[in-house]
């Protein structure tokens, strides 16, 4: 059982939890065991209460991204360190963090994430400003982008706008994994 990539995150995590409980109970569903996401689609599953993992197939490569900190439901600082792991990063793709106010359209790319040789990464994410955004709910997305989109993100990061990336989320960018957090 997998949730469609376009399903709300809470629904996808519920499906992932059901799948995890089914696996722990020793049940199986052979039809679902053979499923893999189609090229460009994503699935989200939880691996531990503190980590959220997403998988996508892009450019023929299966990529798995896990955000280990902050965890889902965490209370975060205005500037928060984000940590995780990635496997199967396709050549020519970059891993970026993006922050979106929950139920908002403002798409805020953060600084590019550098992936170390062991697959671990860390980066900084801003949730509002030191004086604005307290108590707000945010979505932290890990996304894979091509060179052209990375250039667009770098231009934004060099001169950020309060309403986010002009034009909003680019059509060719889909979150691989999303963590819902609340700003302190």
Residues 25-52 have pLDDT tens digits of 333 344 443 444 555 555 555 444 579 9
pLDDT at 146: 92
Q: Which residue numbers in the chain have pLDDT < 70? A: 1-49
How many angstroms from the chain centroid is the CA of residue 103? 16
pTM of this structure: 0.73
pLDDT at 106: 85
Domain boundaries, the chain: 47-183
Instruction: Select the CATH number that applies to the domain covering 47-183 from these four: 3.30.930.10, 3.40.50.1000, 3.30.10.20, 2.60.40.10.
Output: 2.60.40.10
Output the average pLDDT for the chain: 80
pLDDT at 4: 53
Q: Strand pairing of 61-69 and 75-76?
A: unpaired
Measured CA angle at 82 (ends 76, 87), to 5 deg: 145
Residue 140's nearest CA partner among 105, 169, 97, 110 is 97
pLDDT at 135: 95
């Amino acid at each position: 059982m997998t949730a469609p990539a376009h399903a709300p995150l809470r629904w996808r995590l519920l499906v992932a939890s059901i799948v995890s409980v089914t696996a722990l109970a020793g049940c199986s569903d052979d039809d679902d065991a053979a499923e893999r996401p189609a090229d460009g689609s994503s699935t989200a599953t939880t691996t531990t209460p503190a980590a959220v993992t997403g998988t996508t197939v892009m450019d023929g490569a299966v990529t798995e991204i896990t955000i280990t900190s902050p965890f889902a439901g965490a209370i975060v600082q205005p500037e928060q360190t984000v940590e995780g792991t990635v496997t199967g990063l396709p050549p020519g793709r970059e891993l970026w963090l993006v922050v979106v106010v929950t139920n908002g359209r403002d798409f805020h790319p953060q600084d590019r994430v550098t992936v170390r040789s062991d697959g671990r990464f860390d980066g900084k994410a801003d949730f509002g400003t030191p004086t604005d955004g307290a108590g707000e709910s945010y979505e932290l997305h890990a996304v894979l982008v091509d060179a052209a989109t990375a250039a667009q993100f770098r231009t934004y990061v060099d001169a950020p706008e309060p309403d986010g990336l002009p034009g909003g989320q680019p059509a060719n960018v889909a979150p691989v994994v999303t963590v819902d957090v609340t700003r302190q």
